[in-house]
Structure 1
């Protein structure tokens, strides 16, 4: 029966992309002077997993690159090469190439074959350009060059004896090991599975694969390779003893049943040792002085009381750590499943409808006598609590950690700082803070522009920082945290800060209405004007005056606000405040005439009924209301939407104080209905875009209520007069 592998392609694509991201993260964090062995092993495992998956699906272009990458990584993690910054650059370049190849298979995007060939040649040249360290004392007395060539290029023959495993695990291992060369499988008399593998692989390659299923201490790997050049007589005698004097291996190739039985019997005797052959290689459980499984035949000729080689012990310990980490990763993976985002969206929509239905039921029961319908009322209350819990649980499915965004920037900061000749330390805080997936995808571009601006304009060159008494290495931080019902994301640098005089001069040259009496906050907001830039030279990084206005517009479209704090010579912090989710919001129901609208609660400061003396008329500018010494523009909601109100005198109705982007205004309405959580429906996709309205929701009585776009309302409040500004 043939298996349709195409159904697994998407899983492979997703997992490979995650492995590439993890590889890049580890490479950027690694200490070149003193690399952590665990990090090197993790990078190697990622490359090996990509190679194995690509080989399974026949993606040979990926396996060609990962094979060379894996070989170079293997030398470095074994200590045969010293890690350098050139290696890290080459690995990051290889990661980019693999990502490009992956997108080529998944999205059918073009692949630059010259870049692929250059990356592969760079890895090969680095792999051959370093001289391996001399082998440790006590290692096999074979010329290092001959042995190294044999490992890399010559065919190796390994006999792999596994503990008792299921047929399914055995088949999985056989398929994975088959990627390394020619493999055959046999069952020993005592029920163990035995593989014979021949190919250009190493013992670590086998351990890396088998450790995912069996404990490295419970398996035996015997190297039955004939080493070239010819060994010395003593080594030849030991090798013949380990291989059965040359009788057993040829007999395995005969088809006769007697020959196979004789070969199996001889192999069984060899495994048992009888005190002569392979027993020196077998690990003895519970004995500290037992030689490791990696011991070569020549090492077996040493006196048994000698301590095992330190390198072999370290290799065995590393293999055990890898096996434990792989097992932990495997257990963690089984606790999650991959679900399409469209299914999650459908679930959220259904829960939203359930919330609306629950609100309808609750409104109907409010007219009933609570004494006569006590049990019904209790059931409705229970339904309300369960619906609320279900809603919060489902909404959490769409929440993703900010690390999904933050992980994109270390590489960008490293490359851009190197290009500009700057030294920058990049730190992140609050990467575990969660945000709605829809917002996360839309926040990437604004944050990218802010980070690039901080690197290019904010942080000075090393010599300038040194002259100012600062550390030559600048600090750029990206943080996220919850603040009430919002998430606040900040991009901070310790650079030179914003130049007030230069911003004002640039604004005047562009004909913008500015004055020297403007506050710092007002001056900083000028950089969000379209086409505004103080850069003297246009580069491929910045200076064209596009970006900051788009940043602010995109943030405002998500219901967020941007704030800037800067001190000359000390740095700049740009803060972005966003709602946690766009699907459900806490709102205040307000009424004007017979219409009910929803005000997002995050914009509401307070509500009050003003005295007639506090309401003033400004000729040509409409009315203002005095609140604690401040005069705020008064926005009559009935004028905006041409509604017949109950009250036209603010002192008879209610005034709601709103705040957005640092500006305040007073919204004049008839009455407050209440506070409730509403499910946001997209009005534009179901009807058309309506100015001043950000969405709609369904009330408990089945009616539709519009959600007011407070940010747009306050931006336009200065134009309000006696006519609607949205007509």
Structure 2
């Protein structure tokens, strides 16, 4: 009985995608004038592993393209191909093509044949022009690997955890590398004695797409490495001369690997140690679908709600009579919180996952614009919820493109301004309370206040010369707003910045801009660390209960009449330790009847948002607890001033306040929120 290898497709796709990502990072870091041998070897190994896996699963186009690429990389690492920036560009283009082919197979379609032919011709031409001519051999596209002649080397391969019905198929796969002399299966261990000219690393790389690496054990050693005659592709229409040429091109690698010199062997061993360590570390992890993790998070959320209900139900119990029960409830609360944190940590991913996308974008776009840009990333280990990681990529991409296109000047303009010819773009991430702070900074020309105001007037926006710089910078987020002098394929259509702001707001965050003419611009994004769990303070306004994010609260107090002042209209401010803070009265914002309207008889919360502080009037503080965030738009609809909802211990619904939105809300609503309050009340 044979194995249905289609069940391993997803594993191959994910691992190949990771290898291609690593390959791109290595290529971007490679110095063409003095290439690092370890980097070249890492790129070669990635290509070789993808080729082996593609061959195993029958992804012919991917296998053939990778083989052509692999031969050039082999020449480069053996100093037979002199690298330059043009060749690196071709290698990056090849990596993109491999990604496209991988995605095509993932979608169960055939890759673009015209693109495949084009990249093959590009690689063959490069081999003929830059190499010694030997790498032109891949003009004969491989159809199937030839079995290695017996006697070159003997190796005993043991694979643990193999069921009886899978053993025969695995042995057939191993037969592709040589001649199976003997095979036996017992106690779920498949033992195969193989005569082969293929190296252990190559056999292991292919098997690892089907079984875990720690299941595989080698005894003995194959005599020849991966690029031996055994791995030379053969086609029905291949001329013998081409085969001989391909074999000749692989000889230097074989001779080097087979050399008996001890220093060389020691160096090879040292080079392999980190790779083995990384492989072991990877095998210690488990791939789990996001759907399963989300399901666990939802179940933990329901558990927390149930725990809150039990806690509320036992609040009035006599500690003497029900001491054991109350002690158990305390332990349950502690365990539920620990479980929450453990489950949420599963979804947290480092910002490195996002930042690694931009070196290539910056390199390509800077070249297209004729600019020199140095990219710096800070805080790559800072963690963010995976759901936010995926949604922040597009806004960040747009902001980076804006910095390169509008912010950083061309080399001649930078020289004229007394700056270095190369501009600097910095991506940084850091924790700030319960939020993550992401900044995109450049040392370019900065925003032009007068040009923005002029364009705003042309677009009919209400502006004045007395506006603060912060308010002027916010104008660029208006729909259709652009100060570009001409429309290009990069900018000028006024589409993008409004979408950036809207997408960030939908994630519960906000975006600010700091700019100084001639010195540069910083775009600052503040996001919650996660969208699932929130530490909050419950407050009462009339008969309604709201949740304030705990990280936004600075202090709470009761105020005296002399601390309150009325300014224009009905707006009031609160005087706190020499500072005047806007007063936001929640009963007026949401038109709540029967609420305490006298601020001196209620409670005032001093909260901070978007770098500004303001006072929030409520009737009563109820308590502090963790709440499970429920998306309000999914379950009901969007409500201004409300970011989400949660379920309290008594089963009722409480609305989570959108602090950034409230900080920008004018007090005189003129009844504008009456409908919102009725919508909120309908949820209770």
| TM-score category, normalised to shorter length | 0.7 to 0.9
The answer as to 2:404 corresponding to 1:455 is yes
Change in Cα spacing, 1:126 to 1:648, as seen in structure 2 (3 Å) is same
TM-score, length basis structure 1: 0.79
Question: Matched residue of 2:638: which SS?
Answer: coil
- What is the CA–CA distance in structure 2 between the aligned matches of 1:471 and 1:416, rounded to whole Å? 19
CA deviation after TM superposition for structure 1 residue 389, in Å: 0.9
Change in Cα spacing, 1:517 to 1:407, as seen in structure 2 (3 Å) is same
- What is the CA–CA distance in structure 2 between the aligned matches of 1:711 and 1:573, rounded to whole Å? 20
The answer as to 2:529 corresponding to 1:580 is yes
Give per-residue Cα distances to partners, 1:438-472, cap 9 Å, x unaligned: 11111111101110011111111111122222221
The match for 1:679 among 628, 639, 642 is 628
Change in Cα spacing, 1:93 to 1:619, as seen in structure 2 (3 Å) is closer
The answer as to 2:17 corresponding to 1:17 is yes
The answer as to 2:369 corresponding to 1:377 is no
Contact map agreement 2:105 2:111 (CA 8 A) in 1: no
- What is the CA–CA distance in structure 1 between the aligned matches of 2:445 and 2:611, rounded to whole Å? 25
- What is the CA–CA distance in structure 2 between the aligned matches of 1:461 and 1:111, rounded to whole Å? 38
The answer as to 2:158 corresponding to 1:166 is yes
Change in Cα spacing, 1:171 to 1:493, as seen in structure 2 (3 Å) is farther
- What is the CA–CA distance in structure 2 between the aligned matches of 1:684 and 1:566, rounded to whole Å? 34
- Which range moves more in the overlay, 669-678 or 635-644? 635-644
CA deviation after TM superposition for structure 1 residue 196, in Å: 4.3
- What is the CA–CA distance in structure 2 between the aligned matches of 1:403 and 1:448, rounded to whole Å? 14
State the superposition RMSD in angstroms. 3.6
The match for 2:223 among 212, 220, 226 is 220
Give per-residue Cα distances to partners, 1:71-125, cap 9 Å, x unaligned: 1111111222222222211111111111111111223578432222111111111
Question: Matched residue of 2:105: which SS?
Answer: helix
Q: Describe how 1:471-486 pairs up with structure 2 within 5 A.
A: 471-486=420-435
The answer as to 2:95 corresponding to 1:95 is yes
The match for 2:180 among 178, 185, 200 is 185
- Which range moves more in the overlay, 55-64 or 502-511? 502-511
Change in Cα spacing, 1:46 to 1:292, as seen in structure 2 (3 Å) is closer
Name 1:237's counterpart in structure 2.
Answer: none
Change in Cα spacing, 1:44 to 1:670, as seen in structure 2 (3 Å) is same
Question: Matched residue of 1:667: which SS?
Answer: strand
Q: Which has the higher contact order (CA 8 A, sep 6+)?
A: 2
- Which range moves more in the overlay, 486-495 or 552-561? 552-561
Give per-residue Cα distances to partners, 1:166-217, cap 9 Å, x unaligned: 266998996666556xx312259xx9934145xxx89996798799866799
Name 1:658's counterpart in structure 2.
Answer: 607
Contact map agreement 2:630 2:646 (CA 8 A) in 1: yes
- What is the CA–CA distance in structure 1 between the aligned matches of 2:70 and 2:298, rounded to whole Å? 46
Name 1:495's counterpart in structure 2.
Answer: 444
Give per-residue Cα distances to partners, 1:498-526, cap 9 Å, x unaligned: 22332233333333333444333233222
Change in Cα spacing, 1:320 to 1:502, as seen in structure 2 (3 Å) is same
The answer as to 2:128 corresponding to 1:128 is yes
The answer as to 2:556 corresponding to 1:592 is no
Change in Cα spacing, 1:574 to 1:385, as seen in structure 2 (3 Å) is same
- Which range moves more in the overlay, 613-622 or 642-651? 613-622
Change in Cα spacing, 1:54 to 1:614, as seen in structure 2 (3 Å) is same
Change in Cα spacing, 1:392 to 1:474, as seen in structure 2 (3 Å) is same
Contact map agreement 1:52 1:179 (CA 8 A) in 2: no
- What is the CA–CA distance in structure 2 between the aligned matches of 1:657 and 1:208, rounded to whole Å? 59
Change in Cα spacing, 1:203 to 1:599, as seen in structure 2 (3 Å) is closer
Question: Matched residue of 1:424: which SS?
Answer: strand
Q: Describe how 1:536-575 pairs up with structure 2 within 5 A.
A: 536-575=485-524
Change in Cα spacing, 1:163 to 1:34, as seen in structure 2 (3 Å) is same
- What is the CA–CA distance in structure 2 between the aligned matches of 1:209 and 1:7, rounded to whole Å? 15
CA deviation after TM superposition for structure 1 residue 640, in Å: 3.6
The match for 1:533 among 482, 491, 498 is 482
- What is the CA–CA distance in structure 2 between the aligned matches of 1:120 and 1:439, rounded to whole Å? 38
Instruction: Extract unaligned runs of 5+ from structure 1.
Output: 134-143, 227-290, 296-307
Give per-residue Cα distances to partners, 1:251-304, cap 9 Å, x unaligned: xxxxxxxxxxxxxxxxxxxxxxxxxxxxxxxxxxxxxxxx99725xxxxxxxxx
The match for 2:287 among 338, 354, 358 is 338
The match for 1:356 among 302, 305, 326 is 305
Name 1:67's counterpart in structure 2.
Answer: 67
- Which range moves more in the overlay, 428-437 or 327-336? 327-336
Contact map agreement 1:527 1:533 (CA 8 A) in 2: yes
Contact map agreement 1:592 1:670 (CA 8 A) in 2: yes
> In the comparison of the two structures, how many residue pairs are matched?
630
- Which range moves more in the overlay, 685-694 or 202-211? 202-211
Contact map agreement 2:124 2:138 (CA 8 A) in 1: no
CA deviation after TM superposition for structure 1 residue 375, in Å: 2.5
- What is the CA–CA distance in structure 1 between the aligned matches of 2:327 and 2:2, rounded to whole Å? 57
Contact map agreement 1:696 1:707 (CA 8 A) in 2: yes
Q: Describe how 1:202-351 pairs up with structure 2 within 5 A.
A: 218-221=221-224, 294=258, 314=264, 316=265, 319-321=268-270, 323-351=272-300
Asked which structure has the greater CA Rg, the reply is 1
Change in Cα spacing, 1:145 to 1:391, as seen in structure 2 (3 Å) is closer
CA deviation after TM superposition for structure 1 residue 18, in Å: 1.0
CA deviation after TM superposition for structure 1 residue 722, in Å: 5.8
- Which range moves more in the overlay, 45-54 or 528-537? 528-537
Question: Matched residue of 1:166: which SS?
Answer: strand
Change in Cα spacing, 1:217 to 1:317, as seen in structure 2 (3 Å) is farther
Question: Matched residue of 1:677: which SS?
Answer: strand
Name 1:277's counterpart in structure 2.
Answer: none
Change in Cα spacing, 1:17 to 1:25, as seen in structure 2 (3 Å) is same
The answer as to 2:662 corresponding to 1:667 is no
Question: Matched residue of 2:71: which SS?
Answer: helix
Give per-residue Cα distances to partners, 1:364-391, cap 9 Å, x unaligned: 2321222333322222222221111111
- What is the CA–CA distance in structure 1 between the aligned matches of 2:633 and 2:218, rounded to whole Å? 58
The match for 2:638 among 689, 697, 701 is 689
- What is the CA–CA distance in structure 1 between the aligned matches of 2:137 and 2:54, rounded to whole Å? 29
Q: Describe how 1:106-145 pairs up with structure 2 within 5 A.
A: 106-107=106-107, 111-132=111-132
- What is the CA–CA distance in structure 2 between the aligned matches of 1:145 and 1:588, rounded to whole Å? 68
Contact map agreement 1:561 1:660 (CA 8 A) in 2: no
CA deviation after TM superposition for structure 1 residue 16, in Å: 1.2
Give per-residue Cα distances to partners, 1:547-601, cap 9 Å, x unaligned: 2222122212212122222222222221111110010111111101222111222
Change in Cα spacing, 1:386 to 1:441, as seen in structure 2 (3 Å) is same
Give per-residue Cα distances to partners, 1:514-543, cap 9 Å, x unaligned: 344433323322222222222112111112
The answer as to 2:337 corresponding to 1:388 is yes
